[in-house]
Amino acid sequence: MKKGARRKTGPTEPLRVHILGIGEITTTIEIKGGNWGKIHPTEKRWMKLAYKRMPAFDDKKAADDYVSAHEKYQEILEELGIQTPWHDNLLRRRDDGKWVVYNRQERLETKKVACLVVHDLDLEGNLSLFRQLLKKLEPMFLHNPSRPDLQVGFDAQLPNWVLTGYDPEAREIGDNEPMVYIDTSTPLLRVDGRELLDTELFLRAIPAAFRPIIRLVALGHVVNRYYEPREVILDLVASYITHRRPDLVAPMVEEANRFMAESSFAKDAEPFTEKKISAYNGQDVAIWHAFRTLKRVDRYLGERFLGKTYEQRLPHGSPKKWKNLVGAGGMGLVDKD
pLDDT (tens digit per residue) in 211-269:
776 666 555 667 888 999 999 999 999 999 989 999 999 999 999 999 999 999 999 99
* Band of pLDDT at residue 15, cut at 50, 70 and 90: confident
Name which of 155, 142, 182 is nearest 264 in CA terms: 142
Q: Residue 199's pLDDT is what?
A: 74
Alpha-carbon dihedral sign for residues 26, 30, 36, 38: positive
Cβ-contact 87, 105 below 8 angstroms:
yes
- Count of alpha carbons within 13 Å of 275, Cβ hemisphere only? 0
User: Which residue would you say has higher pLDDT here, 44 or 208?
Assistant: 44
229-242 vs 123-146: helix crossing angle, rounded to 10: 150
Of 242, 248, 334, 249, nearest to 288 by C-alpha is 242
Q: Which of 177, 195, 194 is nearest to 186 (CA)?
A: 195
Cα–Cα distance measured from residue 280 to residue 170, given in angstroms and rounded to the nearest whole number? 34
Residue-wise pLDDT tens digits, 170-221: 999 999 999 999 999 999 999 999 988 887 776 666 666 667 766 665 556 6
